């Protein structure tokens, strides 16, 4: 049997919350920096596509230079196991049911993994590597007592080129995914007060290729921290630390829907998804 090599960046069940119509597995994909020209062809924007396509990339979760079938599937299967534990909780929220404390913790992990599995996170890790290498380089020089020489400079250059390579960045990303069952980020998300805001399909929440929003300047532990995570076209989670927040389901004002959509668009790397080809989605994506 051939290994699974069509890896899903976003879970299909998650994207089903944003489909065009019940039973019709299609969403509208809006791309950054392009004019509004809706249709079903490759160059149309937004483009009407099956929910399997925006979330599938060949070998994205395969370790570089993988040859064994298991190496093509290991991270993909791991992510699927994470998803399956939270699928019933996702459906409960979409049905506007209350969730227990242990379910909240499990879904906090789901949100954390959604944040870590996407290309935006890998890209951000790659941008942090130069600073990490600058610190590591000094440790290498001291540990091996490397004197200044042409040989030392060549050795450090070889190490640096490997650390900055796409293959190494991918490996760091996959190792991060594989080792985050327990993390401070999950703890921080779970400790927030969760409100689920509800709107109509006519107004609607969007999602993106990087669906978890939070201010990286503020972080997740600050008293002013807020988190936004779209659940479906009609429900969005907002987590906060303000004591006056009461957890539950609440009707969202039109202004709040706009604000939450702007946040999601602002964190998108390349694309956002909605259930209809609305010009306003392209507008907020362009302003993000």
pLDDT digits (tens, 9 = 90+) for 56-100: 788 899 888 777 777 788 888 889 988 999 999 999 999 999 999
236: left (phi over 0), alpha (psi -120 to 50) or beta: beta
**112 touches 102 (CB < 8 A):** no
Q: What is the mean pLDDT of residues 203-209?
A: 97
What percentage of the chain reaches a pLDDT higher than 70? 97
Task: Report DSSP state, residue 252.
Answer: P
Per-residue burial over 76-101, b if 16 or more Cβ lie within 10 Å, else e, is bebbeebbeebeebbeebbeeeebee
Query: Using 50, 70 and 90 to split pLDDT, how confident is the model at 275?
Result: very high
Give the residue carrying structure tokens 């109509």.
200
Dig out the tokens for 207 from the structure. 């999602």
Q: Is the pLDDT of residue 150 over 90?
A: no
Dig out the tokens for 167 from the structure. 């293959």
Q: Is the pLDDT of residue 141 over 80?
A: no
> So what's the pLDDT on residue 241?
92
Domain boundaries, given as residue ranges, for the chain: 25-55+192-288, 57-185
**How far is the C-alpha of 237 from the C-alpha of 217, rounded, in Å?**
20
Q: Is the pLDDT of residue 181 over 70?
A: no
* Averaged pLDDT score across all residues of the chain: 89
Whether this model's pTM surpasses 0.85:
yes
> So what's the pLDDT on residue 182?
67
Q: Is the pLDDT of residue 251 over 80?
A: yes
DSSP lists the bridge partners of residue 58 as 6
Q: What is the mean pLDDT of residues 202-222?
A: 93
**170 touches 63 (CB < 8 A):** yes
**274 touches 28 (CB < 8 A):** yes
**How far is the C-alpha of 272 from the C-alpha of 29, rounded, in Å?**
6
Task: Report DSSP state, residue 255.
Answer: H
Q: Is the pLDDT of residue 222 over 80?
A: yes
Mean pLDDT lowest for which of 131-140, 166-175, 212-221, 261-270?
A: 131-140
Q: Is the pLDDT of residue 163 over 90?
A: no
Query: Using 50, 70 and 90 to split pLDDT, how confident is the model at 55?
Result: low
């Amino acid at each position: 049997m051939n290994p699974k090599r069509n890896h899903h960046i976003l879970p299909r069940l998650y994207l089903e919350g944003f489909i065009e119509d019940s039973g019709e597995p299609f969403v509208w994909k809006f791309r950054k920096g392009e004019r509004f020209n809706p249709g079903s062809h490759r160059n149309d924007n937004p483009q009407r596509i099956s929910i399997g396509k925006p979330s599938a990339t060949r070998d994205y979760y395969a370790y570089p230079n993988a040859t064994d079938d298991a190496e093509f599937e290991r991270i993909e299967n791991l992510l699927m196991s994470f998803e399956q534990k939270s699928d019933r909780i996702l459906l409960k929220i979409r049905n506007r049911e209350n969730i227990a404390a242990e379910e909240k913790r499990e879904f906090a992990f789901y949100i954390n993994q959604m944040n870590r599995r996407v290309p935006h996170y890998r890209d951000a890790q790659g941008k942090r590597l130069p600073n990490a290498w600058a610190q590591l380089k000094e440790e290498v020089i001291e540990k091996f007592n490397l004197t200044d020489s042409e040989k030392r400079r060549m050795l450090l250059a070889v190490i640096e080129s490997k650390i900055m390579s796409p293959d190494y960045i991918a490996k760091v990303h996959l190792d991060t995914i594989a080792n985050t069952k327990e993390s401070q980020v999950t703890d921080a998300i779970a400790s927030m007060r969760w409100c689920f805001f509800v709107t109509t399909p006519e107004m609607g929440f969007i999602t993106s290729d990087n669906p978890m929003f939070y201010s990286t300047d503020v972080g997740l532990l600050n008293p002013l921290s807020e988190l936004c995570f779209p659940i479906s076209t009609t429900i969005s989670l907002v987590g906060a630390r303000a004591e006056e927040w009461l957890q539950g389901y609440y009707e969202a004002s039109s202004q709040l829907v706009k604000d939450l959509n702007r946040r999601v668009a602002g964190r998108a790397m390349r694309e956002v998804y909605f259930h209809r080809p609305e010009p306003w989605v392209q507008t907020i994506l362009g302003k993000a």
